[in-house]
Amino acid sequence: MMKNRNRIQWGFLFFFLPVILWLFLLIVLPHLELLRLSFTKTRGGGLSLDNYMAFFKEPIYWLTYVRTAFYSILVTALVMLIALPVSFYITKIARVKATGFLMVLILVPFWVSELIRVYGWMILLRESGVLNQFLIAIGLFSKPVEMLYNDITMVMGLVYTSMLFMVVPIIGVMDDLDDALIEAAYDLGASKISIWRTIIIPHCASGMVSGGIIVFMLVLGSYLTPNLMGGKNSLWFTEQIYNQIIIYFNWNQGAAFGFLLLILSSLIIWIVLKLTRQNLKEVVK
Amino acid sequence: MRIALSVQNLTKRFGDFTAVDQVSFDVEDGKFFSILGPSGCGKTTLLRMIAGFYKPDHGTLLFDGQNMEGVAPNKRPVNMVFQNLALFPMMNVEENIAFGLRRRGEKGSAVTKKVQEVLERVGLPGSGKKQVNQLSGGQKQRIAIARCLVLDPTVLLLDEPLGALDAKLREHMKVELKTLQSQVGTTFVYITHDQSEAMVMSDTVAVMNNGKFEQIGTPQDLYHNPKSSFVAQFVGNNNKLRVTLRRDAHGHLLARYTNGLDFTLVGAFEAPKGDEEYDLFIRPESMLINPDETLAHVNRLPVTVSSILFDGGNSRLLVTPENTDDELVVALPQTRQYDSIKAKDHITIGWDISKAICYKRRDWKLYDEE
C-alpha cells in the first residue's frame, strides 16, 4: 500500500517537474531578484526605499501610473460594451451555420502578430495614410491631419487588440443562456433594456469578469500598441519601465516600477471581484 | 359570455411550409381551452403567434376585442408558461414572481403582498426566499404559473408544461391544474400532444393536425362523435378495420372487411364510389366478448386471442381476426366473467351496429419516430 502510493507520487512528480521548474525558474526566481533590486540603492548598494520614493517625488511617474490605470479600465469597459452585443449576435441571432464563420472572423486578425496589426493601423491613420488620402480625395479635408499619436487612437488600438479575449469567454457563458429565459422575460413585460439588465448580464457575469480580468491585465501590461500608436503624447507605464531598464540602465528603478504595476493590477482585480461578488476560482473556471 | 381570445383565419408560413393554416376559434372568458395535436402539427407556432413571438402572415387576433396586430409580446395582456418553465435561475422564487410586477413599475409593499397572495393560491406559502434549484419539479411548475397569474393576464398560455414531469406527478398535476384554473377563473389556453391531459382538464378541446383544426368540441363530443378519421384515431383508443363499402339488394350499406366478412352499418354515410377504401372505427370498450347469440343489431367477428394485457381496470385483450394479420384491442372488464379466456383461444367479438363509425381512408402519422 505504502509502496504503491510512493510510486504514484514519483509519477506525478515526473510530469509535474517541468511545470514546477518553469514556475520557479522563470517566474518566482526573477521576481525575487527584482524584488531585491527594487529595494537596493542604484549606486553603492544597501537596503533603501529610494526607488519607491522616486516614483512619488517625480510627478511624471505617478501621473503616467494613474493615466495607465484609468485608460486600462476605460479600455476594458469599452471592450465589454462592444463584446456583449457581438457575443449576443453570434450566439443567439446568427444562424448556426454562420456562427463558426463569425468566430473565425474574430480570430483571423490574431493569426498575425500584434506588431503587424499595429502597423496596419499606422498605415491607415498616419498623415500620409490611406484614410487621409481618401478624405482629401473626396474633398472632406483640405490638408492631411495626423491621426496617430493621441489618446483616442491609442485607446482604439488597445480595444481592437484585446477584443478577442473578451468575446471568447462571454460567448462561452452566453451559449448556456436558455433562449426561453429571454422570451419569458419579454413575455412578462420586460423591455429590451431590462432584459439585458436583469437576465443577460447577470447570467454572463462570470464570463464578463473573467474576460475583464484578462483584458485588463493585457492592456495594463501592453507595450507595443501604446508605444507605436500613442507615441510620445500618450505615455504608458510599461514605457517608463522600459526606459529605466533599457535606456538609463537603472534596473533597480525599473524593478520598483514593475512591482508598483503588479500591485496596481492585483489591487484593481481584487476590488472588481469584491464589487461584483465573484469568486476568483469560479471566474477562472 | 365575454370572448377573452378570438382568433380569426390565423396563418403562418415558413418558406413553402404552412405551419398554421387559416385557424379560427373563440375562447370564452374563464374557460380551459386545449389545443391537442401530434408534434409538428403547428400548435406551438399557433401559441407563439398568440403570445406575440411570431408575426402571423394572415388573420387577426383579438384579446377582449382588442386587435393585437403590431403589439409586442411585452405589451400584450397574455402570459405564457414555457415548456421548460424558464424560471430565472439568477433570482429566488419571490423575485421570479415579482419580475413582471416590477417591470410594470410597481414597487414596495404592494408587490410583496401580491407575491404572497399568489404563492398562497398555488399552495406554496412561505417559499419566497427559496432558490429555484431548491424546488421540486411540481413546485417549479406552480411557481411558473404563479409568475404569470400574479400579472392577472386576460389569457394564460401553457406550452406542454407537464411534459417534463414523471408519470405519477403528471397525473397529480393534471387534477391540480384544473382545480387551480377553476379557482382563479383565468382563461387558460393549453397545448399538448397528450390526449389524456387535454380531455381531463379542458372545457373545450381543439384537435389540430397539419396546421388546421380538425374539430372543436367538448372532450365528450370529440370522443363520441369524432368528425374525421384523424380525430377518431387521435382522441382515445380506437380499433381500425380496413373495409370497402357496398350496398346490398335492400339498399343497406355493408362494409366488407379484408377477410371477406360483411358488417352492417347505420347512420348517414356518403354513397360509396367504386371500390374506394374506408376505415371502420370501433372503441375497445364498445367491443363485446362472446356476444349472446340472440342479440340483434350486432356485428360479429371470429378472432383468435393473441395475448392478454392485464392492467387492473384498464385490462385489454389483443385479438387477431381470422384470416387477417390485424391486431385489435378489446376492453377486458375485470368482472371475473372472462377469466377463462386464455391466449390462442378462438372467441367471437361483436359490437352494436350503432357503435361503429366509418371514414374514407386517410393515413396519418400519429407519432413522431423519436
Q: What domain count does chain B have?
A: 2
pLDDT score recorded for residue B70: 86
Question: Domain end: B215, B233, B251, which one?
Answer: B233
pLDDT score recorded for residue A168: 92
Q: Is some CB atom of chain A closer than 8 A to the CB atom of B131? A: no
Structural domain containing residue A17? 1-38
Measured CA to CA, the distance from residue A124 to residue B33 in angstroms comes to 64
The pTM of the full predicted model, rounded to 2 decimals, is 0.80
Structural domain containing residue B313? 237-360
Q: Which of B99, B118, B155, B156 to mutate to test the interface with A (most CBs of A within 10 A)?
A: B99
Q: Is some CB atom of chain B closer than 8 A to the CB atom of A175? A: no
The distance from CA A225 to its chain's CA centroid, rounded to whole angstroms, is: 12
Shared domain check, A207 and A137: yes
What are the tens digits of pLDDT across the range B248-257? 777 777 888 8
In the structure, what pLDDT confidence band is assigned to residue B368 with cuts at 50, 70 and 90? Answer: very low
Cell of B232: 377518431
Shared domain check, A116 and A28: no
pLDDT top residue among A71 and B369: A71
Q: What is the dihedral of CA B122, B127, B131, B132, to 10 degrees?
A: -10
DSSP string, B56-86: -SEEEEEETTEE-TT--GGGSSEEEE-TT--
What are the tens digits of pLDDT across the range B173-184? 888 889 999 988
| pLDDT of chain A, 285 residues: tens digit per residue | 455 555 667 778 888 888 888 888 888 998 898 888 888 887 777 788 888 888 888 888 899 999 999 999 999 999 999 999 999 999 999 888 888 898 888 888 888 888 898 888 889 888 888 888 898 888 888 888 888 888 888 999 999 989 999 999 999 999 999 999 999 999 999 999 999 999 999 999 989 999 999 999 999 999 988 888 887 777 898 998 998 889 888 888 899 999 999 999 999 989 988 888 777 766 666
Q: Which of B44, B49, B53, B74 to mutate to test the interface with A (most CBs of A within 10 A)?
A: B74
Residue B334 lies in a domain: yes
pLDDT score recorded for residue B324: 86
pLDDT score recorded for residue A284: 65
Residue A138 lies in a domain: yes
Shared domain check, B268 and B196: no
How crowded is the C-beta side of B241, counted as CA atoms within 13 Å?
A: 30
With an 8 Å Cβ cutoff, are B86 and A190 in contact?
no
Measured CA to CA, the distance from residue B78 to residue A35 in angstroms comes to 66
Shared domain check, A165 and A70: yes
Question: Domain end: B233, B254, B273, which one?
Answer: B233
Count Cβ–Cβ pairs < 8 Å, chain A vs chain B.
Answer: 57
What are the tens digits of pLDDT across the range B339-359? 888 888 889 898 888 888 888
Question: Domain end: B233, B263, B296, which one?
Answer: B233
Shared domain check, A156 and A77: yes
With an 8 Å Cβ cutoff, are B82 and A202 in contact?
no
**A79-84 CB contacts, 8 Å cutoff, 24+ apart:** A79/A159, A79/A162, A79/A163, A79/A166, A79/A211, A79/A215, A80/A166, A80/A208, A80/A211, A80/A212, A80/A215, A82/A159, A82/A163, A83/A163, A83/A166, A83/A167, A83/A170, A83/A211, A84/A170, A84/A196, A84/A200, A84/A201, A84/A204, A84/A208
With an 8 Å Cβ cutoff, are B88 and A184 in contact?
yes
Residue A43 lies in a domain: no
pLDDT score recorded for residue B12: 92
Nearest chain A residue to B152 by CA: give it: A188
What are the tens digits of pLDDT across the range B283-301? 988 888 888 888 888 888 8
Q: What domain count does chain A have?
A: 2
In the structure, what pLDDT confidence band is assigned to residue B28 with cuts at 50, 70 and 90? Answer: very high
With an 8 Å Cβ cutoff, are A199 and B90 in contact?
yes
ipTM for the complex shown: 0.81
Q: Measuring CA to CA, how many Å separate B289 from each of B134, B207, B266, B341, B355?
A: 52, 31, 21, 10, 15
Cell of B318: 389483443
